[in-house]
A and B are shown apart, each in its own frame.
Chain A
Amino acid sequence: MGIDIRNVTKTFGTFTALRDVSFEVRPGELVALLGPSGCGKTTLLRIVAGLETPDRGSVMFDGEDATSRQVGERRVGFVFQHYALFRHMSVFENVAFGLRVRPRAHRPSNAEIASKVTNLLKLVQLDYLGDRHPSQLSGGQRQRVALARALAVEPKVLLLDEPFGALDAKVRQELRRWLRRLHEEIHLTSVFVTHDQEEALELADRIVIMNEGKIEQDASPVEVFERPASPFVMNFLGNVNIFHGRVEKGRALLGPLALDYPEHDAAESRPAAGYARPHELDVARTDSGGGLWAILETANLAGAIVKLELVDDERKLLQAEVAREHYDGLNPKIGERLYVRPKKIRVFVDEG
């Protein structure tokens, strides 16, 4: 099922959680809503589910206005951040709940419910835990029960609120891969909320990046990473080195760096900043032009990528990441003066 969110605004008292947000989820897509806490991503997810009502705007399911449809009538599966399993029911009964509460005319027989629940528990690889209670499960197991419970009502769309937020790193990795596979298997339109950029980049077909109730960028993972639409997106998707300066007459003058910037050829000067990710900085002993000199302060050798911290002549910190072989070939000493050249730099003009 496709979801179309149009001009949704939501306020809580004096706090505006969403300002005129619009975006679309195509059938079968797996979309991430990514942003820092308080950016409105969870509110947006809850509005799609029908757990909150927008002040303005509408939510369309397959072209039909679903804004005033009741929660229970929307056919959505919702996985809560802390799972919200029914604590007094067994795993089996948790999953069966959505079937048992159906009106008598549409309720499957007990045998049908049993076979369906068993199949779902097999799907989430927990069929041997059916008679346990939620308090006897680990975090990752609870997460999968919550997912099976949401899938039991055969939802047309699956919504997940910080699905891996409460799990430790290793379990999170495993579940992420598992969810990706599951999505490829059942192709259910899915939207998940996360504040973890790595999770969004790895899992989603498309990422909607939000900040202060607005959408900053809506694009594929490669697109948002390679061509971030704003300094916020650039900053949020990982570490960056920022070079402040100005643009004028088709040139960008960013502190020690100077480069062509044909997008702004007016004589009038505007403040601007250049952004380069740590892996986009090249470190060498010789001046090859277009870079700056800096002193190596620390080198973290743990891992396939060596993380360097350098300070330039204005005592500004630079972060660089170089491949292990490159570092070993260069073999620099701490305190040595090295030439740092950005291989790639994105300039954002302050429109003020």
Chain B
Amino acid sequence: MAHVETGRTRDPKRGLTEPAPIRWLLTAVALGFLFLFLAVPLAAVFTEAFRLGWSAYVTAIREPDAMAALRLTLTAAAIAVPANLLFGVAAAWAIGKFQFRGKQLLITLIDLPFAVSPVISGMVFILLFGRQGYLGPWLMENDIRIVFAIPGIVLATIFVSFPFVAREIIPVMEATGSQEEEAARVLGAGGFQTFFRVTLPNIKWGLLYGVILCNARAMGEFGAVSVVSGHIRGLTNTLPLHVEILYNEYQFQAAFAVASLLAFLALVTLVLKTIVEYRTRRSMQPVGEFPH
């Protein structure tokens, strides 16, 4: 907003910026839009959640099915985030540091979960692991349940949250190049030493940022999880699914109370994200070419 307040003092950018009324108008439109579509709904969630008072709020959240949904959401995220952390680092390492055939294809594939509707990704798991699915009969024979059970929910969560870590650190890895790794190898460091002492410190903020976004998506996912969950209360309901069920049963206050947990999570994510972004900017000053 600094540009708006330049007032009458001589502005070095004068002639490059719009006249004041237009700047005010544009700013007002942007702020108004943000207020209407983001701030108001967020406030509404918390107002509705606390409409019947603090004790009703606590009751809604401590209700066994809500607690079960919370546990399941945390479990799914606790498995999906580390899995995607490993996958993301491996994929980004391969893409950022090496040249190979099919690199573009790999980058495109990583983006697939962004491009595909979550409902369709859920359907794919039904098609693969469901009773009538390709692997269904074999799974039935061996008494393994994936769809309409926790493994299906975890798989769907991994699938939809999988691009975040890789996407965040690929640019960082490409920007830092592989010279520092080469220097480490020449100095006698092994593969693991090179990774933990040189590569990881360089990507840590990007990595953390990716993990935060990945976690937010893993906990908030609705579509894909909804398809594979089967909506068994207290067993296969995650927080977002539980909110929907409560809402459909006209338990508005309870629905909003549970929703406020998710909203609170989103706010925490935003704060963490801002801190990490700030640290990233500070640590990304390049060392390579340099004016003397």
Q: Could you list which residues of chain A lie within 8 angstroms of chain B, going by C-beta atoms?
A: 49-51, 71-73, 76-78, 80, 82-89, 97-98, 101-102, 134-135, 138-140, 142, 149-150, 152-153, 166-168, 171
Contact = CB atoms under 8 A, between A and B. Distances in A.
A286 B179 CA distance: 61
A85 B201 CA distance: 13
A80 B198 CA distance: 16
Given A86-B198, A101-B188, A166 B289 contact: yes
Top 5 A-B residue pairs of the complex, sorted by shortest distance between their CB atoms: A98-B187, A84-B179, A101-B189, A72-B188, A84-B183
Contacts of A73: 188
A171 B290 CA distance: 14
A84 B185 CA distance: 12
Interface in B187-203: 187-190, 193, 197-198, 201-202
Nearest to A80: B179
Contact of B292 (A98, A149, A167): A167
A140 B292 contact: yes
B183 to A, nearest CB: 4
Contact of B184 (A87, A97, A142, A171): A97
A71 B201 contact: no
Given A97-B197, A140-B292, A171-B292, A83 B187 contact: no
A110 to B, nearest CB: 16
Nearest to A93: B197
B120 to A, nearest CB: 39
A172 to B, nearest CB: 10
Contact of B182 (A84, A138, A140, A171): A84
A239 B14 CA distance: 50
A58 B202 CA distance: 35
Contact of B188 (A87, A153, A167, A168): A153
A153 B189 CA distance: 11
Contact of A87 (B182, B190, B202, B292): B202
Interface residues of B, number: 24
Interface stretch (B57-65, B156-164, B280-288): B280-288
16 contacts: A50-B186, A71-B185, A72-B188, A73-B188, A78-B186, A83-B288, A86-B198, A87-B202, A87-B287, A88-B202, A97-B189, A98-B188, A101-B187, A134-B287, A149-B183, A171-B292
Contacts of B290: 139, 142, 166
A84 B189 CA distance: 15
A71 B190 CA distance: 10
B179 A135 contact: no
A198 B146 CA distance: 71
Given A85-B287, A134-B287, A166-B290, A153 B202 contact: no
Q: At the interface, is chain B mostly helix, strand, loop or mixed?
A: helix
A138 B291 CA distance: 8
A131 B237 CA distance: 54
B11 interface: no
B183 A135 contact: no
B186 A71 contact: yes
Nearest to B204: A88
B180 interface: yes
A77 B183 CA distance: 9
B283 A51 contact: no
B182 A101 contact: no
A85 B189 CA distance: 15
B61 to A, nearest CB: 42
A153 B179 CA distance: 18
B202 A101 contact: no
Given A86-B183, A135-B285, 13 more contacts: A51-B185, A80-B179, A80-B182, A82-B288, A82-B289, A83-B288, A84-B182, A88-B202, A98-B188, A101-B187, A142-B287, A149-B187, A166-B290
A16 to B, nearest CB: 18
A72 B186 contact: yes
A178 to B, nearest CB: 16
Q: Which of B188, B197, B289, B292 has the most CB of A within 10 A?
A: B188
Task: Pick from B185, B186, B190, B193 the residue with the most CB of A within 10 Å.
Answer: B186
A82 B179 contact: yes
Contacts of B287: 83, 85, 87, 134-135, 142
B292 A51 contact: no
A97 B193 CA distance: 10
Contact of A78 (B183, B193, B201): B183
A72 B190 contact: yes
A166 B193 CA distance: 29
A49 B188 CA distance: 12
A122 to B, nearest CB: 20
Residue with the highest number of chain B CB atoms closer than 10 Å, among A87, A135, A152, A167: A87
Contact of B185 (A72, A134, A171): A72
